[in-house]
Amino acid sequence: MNAYEHLLKHGIKPSSQRIIIMDYLLTHRTHPTSDEIYNALKVQNPTLSKTTVYNTLRLLEEKGAALNLSIDEKNARYDGDTTDHAHFICTCCGKIIDMGIITPPEVSNEIGCEIKQMQVYIKGICKDCKKTIN
């Protein structure tokens, strides 16, 4: 699906800035930071503002068009793939890797919270870093 339709489907008015940011997320599954998105897009869009990137990413998150990952403690990271999957971060190199969820977690919610979203974050050492260390 293209970025324009993706925005409309989530009730977001598709301005040109929102389209290129959404498009970036849909075509780069690298869990980029705001800064990475801004730097990548400003080459072709010199007038793009960093504030717009921040505003847009918050909007995408609020409307459910993208995920805000807090697995990396340094920066917020964003994921255009909102289907159910877990995220692994290598504490050695910082790389974030998608992992499929075979069995989703089941939690005890006696207190009666309304659950809107569940994220699974995994920390460890990736295969490349294990090789380098040994």
- CB of residue 74 vs its own copies: minimum separation in angstroms? 10
Say how far apart CA 77 and CA 96 lie, in whole Å: 10
Subset of residues 56 to 75 that bind DNA, contact rule: CB under 7 A: 56, 58, 73-75
Give Cβ neighbours of residue 64 (< 8 Å, ≥ 6 apart): 10, 82
Say how far apart CA 30 and CA 16 lie, in whole Å: 22
Q: Do 122 and 95 meet the contact criterion of CB atoms below 8 Å apart?
A: no
Q: Which of 15, 70, 93, 94 is close enough to bind its own copies by CB under 8 A?
A: 70
> Which stretches of the chain bind DNA, using CB under 7 A?
13, 15-18, 33-35, 45, 47-52, 54-56, 58, 73-76
> Which stretches of the chain bind its own copies, using CB under 8 A?
68, 70-73, 76, 86, 88, 90-91, 97, 99-109, 111-127, 130
